[in-house]
Structure 1
């Protein structure tokens, strides 16, 4: 089934989407270059390739980019499916989840994962000099099945939490203008003019 996941890597790479792939056992198979950039991490060991999604998400590389409040929200959103998977594998979530999330997990009832799950979270830029507040990122978590309906993995796509009509305005803009706008984020004295009519 790895070949099928590799086909997805080709398509996602061509489109330059922020995404990652899990195999049918919820293990991290691949992280797109765009998502690696957002995570501020390119090392596959740090990104927990081959590890279960829970093990990856509680690692520093992933966890530092998700606002603490959103970590709890994410657990409530996908926790039922993850706990169901962990139970099937004979793993105890109490031995895996970090303390702040452990108390929440006690109130989650395991459920079988549907083919599509979507939700959002507050993203934190991991770069110390970024100077950005957290912002909304939406994700779509999709089961991947072959022609016979057998599960072979999961695709997780990330999108800016912004309406397409606003993104369209950005696409139409001038890159140099956006660079100037980005530079204006830093408070400083600047020349200006006031016009009177």
Structure 2
């Protein structure tokens, strides 16, 4: 690849662009890491890098990554430009195309490419689908000689809509994106919920209760994100979260991150409630207590669930149900941690948490006073301790 194109490629990768570079003869010479991730591919040769762009487009079409309509739209728009740069007719590309595409290219009249142009491509992979916008620009050296073409891709959504992602934590979004392929994973599980939320919602004006719940949830999610976790499905006035061993280097690292998050949640809630009370709102921080549970799932089935309005990470397994029951059994202000989670901690993480595992006293869920029959049935034998 030309040195100037190589420098451009390095800058594009460094800034996270989904992009590709073609040389002046329309050979695909580079694909960015982000575009590889979109395709779900790690081997650039599988996408046709090193060959003509027509062959490369044929590969992604055969994989079902782009639609037939998109491929035809791309060929009608770009065909005249690549024929002009190739200096010949469509027959020289016949072997790269199926008969229908070859016919489309023959209908194209060669003409020089403009400085830049844009269009769309319809993308599909597994259960994910949507439309991307791409922009093509000619790339010249300082003397004006054509080096090739830069193609950058972005989601076909208004910038104002895409900007909603800025409200979230980028690192957590990246952790979520890494779970595009569902599968069995080891993880620490955290559940937290606001105690007596029904009483609070009845006592407080709706606008005040909305602010309280919104600000608490924002604080809880920030705490989880700051320790390498992934926020799960939203549930009522609380939060669920996963801390994956593969993303936190070890089972011990995941268990430690979950416990650190759990211990940090009560303070985060108190700060939120105190801030609202300082505004003169009728909120008593002492009434805003969390019930918190942390548990260990050695083999949860974890993956993305994409709907029309959101992307969530969900996990399936008995331990998820058990964690929910543990949280229900926690009194406000408690962090109930399961024995299974605590015993995942190595010596270094135990010391960092200030724990002495040999002195932790556990109780079975079934032995906790006031536990309902459902909790006993689903998680009665699970041993827990308050580790706040």
TM-score by length of structure 2 reads 0.42
Q: What is residue 146 of structure 1 aligned with on the other side?
A: 141
Structure 1, residues 6-33: CA drift from partner, whole Å, max 9, x if none? 1112210111110011122221211111
Alpha-carbon separation, structure 1, partners of 2:8 and 2:154: 17
Name the stretch that deviates more: 161-170 or 103-112: 103-112
Cα 1:100–1:7, aligned 2, differ >3 Å: closer, same or farther? same
1:106/1:59 CA distance change after superposition, 3 Å: same
Task: Pick closer, same or farther for the CA change 1:87–1:62 going to 2, 3 Å.
Answer: farther
Provide closer, same or farther for how the CA distance between residues 150 and 89 of structure 1 changes in structure 2, counting only shifts above 3 A.
farther
Could you list the per-position Cα deviations for residues 64-95 of structure 1 after superposition, in whole angstroms to 9, with x for gaps in the alignment? 21111111111111111123334448852333
Q: Is the 8 A contact 1:20 1:30 kept in 2?
A: yes
The CA distance in 2 between the partners of 1:120 and 1:61, in whole Å, is: 15
Residue 136 of structure 1 is aligned with which of 131, 141, 148? 131
Task: Give the number of the structure whose alpha-carbon radius of gyration is greater.
Answer: 2
- Which residue does 1:41 correspond to in 2? 41
- What is the total number of aligned residue pairs between the two structures? 181
**Aligned-partner SS, 1:147:** coil
2:122 matched to which residue of 1?
A: 122
- Structure ranking higher in helix proportion: 2
SS, match of residue 112 in structure 2: coil
Would the aligned equivalents of 1:143 and 1:155 in 2 still touch at CA under 8 Å? yes
Do the aligned residues in 2 keep the contact of 1:139 with 1:157 (CA within 8 Å)?
Answer: yes
Give the deviation of 1:120 after TM superposition. 0.7
Asked whether the equivalents of residues 90 and 105 of structure 2 are also in contact (C-alpha less than 8 Å), the reply is no
Task: Name 1:59's counterpart in structure 2.
Answer: 59
Q: Which structure's relative contact order is higher, taking Cα pairs within 8 Å and 6+ residues apart?
A: 1
Q: CA shift at 1:4, angstroms?
A: 0.4
- Compared with structure 1, are the counterparts of its residues 54 and 65 closer, same or farther at alpha carbon in structure 2 (3 Å cutoff)? same
Tell me, which stretches of 5 or more residues in structure 1 are unaligned? 187-197
SS of equivalent residue, structure 2 residue 107: coil
1:68 to 2:68 alignment: yes
Q: Can you give the 5+ residue segments of structure 2 that lack an aligned partner in the other structure?
A: 173-220, 222-229, 235-303, 313-388
SS at match of 1:78: helix
Whether the 8 Å CA contact 1:138–1:158 is kept in 2: the answer is: yes
**What is the CA–CA distance in structure 1 between the aligned matches of 2:30 and 2:306, rounded to whole Å?**
36
After superposition, the Cα gap between the structure-2 partners of 1:153 and 1:146, relative to the gap in structure 1 and judged at 3 Å, is: same
**CA distance, structure 2, for counterparts of residue 151 and residue 62 of structure 1:** 31
Between 157-166 and 93-102, the greater mean CA deviation after superposition = 93-102
Q: Distance in 1 between matches of 2:44 and 2:81?
A: 25
RMSD: 2.7
Q: How does 1:47-196 map to 2 (within 5 A)?
A: 47-60=47-60, 64-88=64-88, 92-125=92-125, 128=126, 131-132=127-128, 134-173=129-168, 180=233, 183=305, 185=307
Judging by fraction of residues, say which structure has more strand: 2
CA distance in 1, matches of 2:9, 2:153: 15
Residue deviations 1:133-192 (CA, integer Å, cap 9, x gap): x31100011111011110112111001001010011122136569753854749xxxxxx
C-alpha distance in structure 1 between counterparts of 2:39 and 2:61, whole Å:
7
The TM-score normalised by the length of structure 1 is: 0.79
